[in-house]
């Protein structure tokens, strides 16, 4: 056991326990440490972003870095590991490629990818970063993200890419209303996607899962997503959400 790491975790737990911000002295007393030692730990934790110091009162509280770690890291890991089987099943039933993505800034990071069954040569999309506003995964993620519209511009990729902010806001509202989203030839010509949100504890959207393929297979004659596929995607997303939100351990 590395002493300083153990102590720093105790400091973090202490800051998390109390509703108030804590002074150096309080931390030192609570942990039975000299002031200097506590201060050194706090200063290091501040530098790495795990705690923040109020400039006015000089008191310490937990920092934004921890939240980012927990949200970006843990949820994505859990999302990926719990979604593997479901994604395979969705690919099998729909006979389409399946992607799972999370929001990363103004883009979508593809954290998992299942090849379309019965198709030989396909690119590995895991790790890929795609624009959020032109993909079904991205539209779903943006629809449930409060900082959505404050992000980057709406660059056009095809003639169908939605670039007008007001029109895009309406599209997001539609996603929220129906619980799923689609993008038809808005990113790559001839290709379309259907996606639905994956939620964790308390309903927080942490990712999206969807299928992606040729527009003639994803959509019907009027270029509208096929109802059967939409239902498959939504059912899978709900199943993963139940899994994620399930037993707390």
Partner DNA sequence: GACGATCGTGCGACAATGTCGCACGTTGTC
Partner DNA sequence: GACAACGTGCGACATTGTCGCACGATCGTC
Q: CA angle at residue 182 from 181 to 185, to 5 degrees?
A: 160
Query: Binding pattern to its own copies, positions 11-30, x when CB under 8 A?
Result: -xx-xxx-xxx---------
CB 97 within 8 A of CB 91: yes
Beta strands in the chain (DSSP E): 51-53, 60-62, 97-104, 107-114, 129-131, 181-184, 191-199, 205-214
Among the listed ranges 3-11, 64-72, 146-154, 198-206, the one in contact with DNA (CB under 7 A) is 3-11
Q: Return the residue of 190, 204, 214, 231 that touches its own copies, per CB under 8 A.
A: 204
* Minimum distance from residue 204 beta carbon to its own copies (Å): 4
Of 167, 19, 183, the residue nearest 101 (C-alpha):
183
User: Quick one: 21 or 160, whose CB is closer to DNA?
Assistant: 21
Residue 190 backbone class (left: φ over 0; alpha: ψ -120 to 50; beta: rest):
left
**Rounded Cα–Cα distance for residues 180 and 186 (Å):** 16
Q: Is 129 in the site for its own copies (CB under 8 A)?
A: no
**Rounded Cα–Cα distance for residues 58 and 3 (Å):** 26
Q: Is 247 in the site for its own copies (CB under 8 A)?
A: yes
* Minimum distance from residue 57 beta carbon to DNA (Å): 6
Pick out residues in 138-177 that bind its own copies (CB under 8 A). Answer: 144-147, 150
Among the listed ranges 55-63, 88-96, 162-170, 213-221, the one in contact with its own copies (CB under 8 A) is 55-63
Q: Is 15 in the site for DNA (CB under 7 A)?
A: no
Q: Is 133 in the site for its own copies (CB under 8 A)?
A: no
Q: Torsion over CA of 191, 199, 154 and 68, rounded to 10 degrees?
A: -130
CB 89 within 8 A of CB 49: no
Q: Is 35 in the site for DNA (CB under 7 A)?
A: yes
- The binder of 64, among DNA, its own copies, none, by C-beta within 5 to 8 A per type, is its own copies
Q: Which helix (H) or strand (E) holds 39?
A: helix 35-47
**Rounded Cα–Cα distance for residues 201 and 196 (Å):** 17
Q: Return the residue of 41, 98, 195, 198 that touches DNA, per CB under 7 A.
A: 41
- The binder of 123, among its own copies, DNA, none, by C-beta within 5 to 8 A per type, is none
* Minimum distance from residue 100 beta carbon to its own copies (Å): 9
Pick out residues in 90-119 that bind its own copies (CB under 8 A). Answer: 111-112
Q: Return the residue of 9, 36, 81, 122 that touches DNA, per CB under 7 A.
A: 36
CA torsion sign, 205 to 207 to 210 to 214? positive
């Amino acid at each position: 056991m590395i002493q300083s790491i153990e102590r720093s975790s105790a400091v973090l737990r202490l800051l998390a326990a109390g509703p108030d911000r804590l002074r150096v002295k309080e931390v030192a007393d609570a942990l039975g440490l000299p002031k200097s030692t506590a201060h050194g730990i706090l200063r290091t934790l501040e530098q790495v972003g795990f705690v923040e110091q109020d400039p006015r009162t000089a008191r310490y509280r937990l920092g934004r870095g921890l939240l980012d770690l927990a949200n970006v890291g843990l949820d994505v890991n859990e999302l990926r590991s719990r979604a593997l089987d479901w994604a395979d099943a969705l690919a099998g039933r729909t006979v389409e490629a399946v992607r799972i993505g999370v929001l990363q800034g103004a883009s979508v990071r593809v954290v998992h990818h299942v090849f379309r069954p019965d198709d030989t040569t396909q690119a590995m999309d895991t790790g890929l970063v795609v624009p959020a506003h032109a993909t079904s995964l991205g539209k779903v993620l943006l629809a449930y993200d409060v900082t959505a519209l404050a992000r980057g511009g709406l660059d056009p990729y095809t003639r169908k890419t939605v670039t007008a902010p007001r029109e895009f806001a309406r599209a997001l509202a539609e996603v929220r209303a129906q619980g799923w989203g689609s993008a038809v030839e808005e990113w790559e010509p001839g290709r379309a996607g259907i996606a639905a949100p994956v939620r964790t504890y308390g309903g927080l959207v942490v990712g999206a899962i969807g299928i992606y393929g040729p527009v003639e297979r994803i959509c019907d004659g009027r270029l509208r997503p096929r109802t059967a596929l939409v239902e498959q995607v939504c059912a899978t997303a709900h199943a993963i959400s139940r899994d994620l939100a399930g037993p707390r351990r």
